[in-house]
A and B are shown apart, each in its own frame.
Chain A
Amino acid sequence: MLVLISSKGLTVTDSNPQAVPRGYAPFGGNCPKTGKPTTFLLSVDKFKSVQRHQPYWKIRAVESLESVLRAPLARLKDLKRDGFQDAYCVTGKPATYHKSNTVCVPFPPGFLLCVIVAWDSRGWLILDWEQRKEDSALPGVPVNGHTDFGEIIWTANSRT
């Protein structure tokens, strides 16, 4: 059993967790497959790469990954890429958005923060996170969610 200590107190996650692999930072969230608490892994190398070669908003969005994965708006399965049929897109709307190191605004309306995760032998890996336009007819679901992903498995709106 893995117990995470956070500002919210003790959180019990997977009943059969794996050791945290070297070079990855673990944090809590809800399993995209089952909705139950689990642990996600963010590669430290990925973090550093984003820090140097990707936009400022994206590095600051790391601060929102946990909240999105804990309380998503929708979960979609299958990236429709070879080898990533079992990967998931978890969407959410963080409270804030850092345009620069001096400008912090509310998260842009009409957009979603989409966190791409996949399970492998190391655990639930954070593959990427990006902004996508939200489907106005399907709150929490990215535009073209039905075609870009294999299945919309859950939305907060429908509670399915």
Chain B
Amino acid sequence: MDSQLADLISEYSLKAFKPVPTYDNDGDFLTFYTEDTDCYSDRIDDTLTLYRHPETEAIVGIKVKGVSKLLADIGPKGVVVKGDGFQLGILFYSWALEKDTSPEDFEILKYLQDSFGTVTAVIGTLADGNYGLSDSNSELV
């Protein structure tokens, strides 16, 4: 293993898990794990992935992809996100609005809203009129 990655790993120290939404600038996605547990990715579509426990199938987290576009799309519909806190529910509604929502999607939407909808995230500055998220891998709360 290359020395720099090995050094990075060797500096690893166990820290208490803190369930906080985080944004990845390189991949333009948001992840939110509710538990420090085993999980696998269950891809719903190009926007939404659910993290499920491999034995119970319980949802233990979510990944929302294309966050910049979701926020930009919802803006013209009257929702304003400007560097302040916003609830993850905004992303879920934007996801539902941009697709031909099936009954299964509504079930997922309701679950997401009930489980994660009021979780607050904070993103950085806007850039060039778009909902740019300035800080790489920024902590959103």
Contacts and interface: CB of A to CB of B under 8 A. Distances in A.
Chain B: interface size category: 35 or more
Nearest to B21: A53
Interface residues of A, number: 53
Given A81-B65, A127-B27, A45 B36 contact: no
A148 B27 CA distance: 17
Interface-central residue, A59, A81, A144, by most chain B CB under 10 Å: A81
Interface stretch (B4-12, B88-96, B103-111): B4-12
Contacts, number: 121
Interface in A2-54: 4-7, 20, 23, 25-28, 42-49, 51-54
Interface stretch (B40-48, B76-84, B112-120, B126-134): B40-48
A53 B33 CA distance: 7
Contacts of B39: 55, 131
Interface of B: prevailing SS: loop
A132 B40 contact: yes
Contacts of B137: 43, 45-46, 48-49
Contacts of A25: 2, 4-5, 7-8
Contact of B2 (A4, A23, A132): A4
Contact of B41 (A65, A66, A131): A131
B27 A128 contact: yes
Contacts of B54: 108, 111, 131
Interface string A124-137: 01011011110000
A104 interface: no
B12 A132 contact: no
Given A43-B26, A132-B40, A7 B15 contact: no
Interface of A: 4-7, 20, 23, 25-28, 42-49, 51-57, 59, 62-63, 65-66, 79-84, 99, 101, 108, 111, 114, 116, 118, 120, 125, 127-128, 130-133, 144, 148
Interface of B: 1-5, 7-9, 12, 14-15, 17-20, 22, 24, 26-29, 31, 33, 35-41, 43, 46-47, 49, 54, 65-66, 69, 136-137, 139
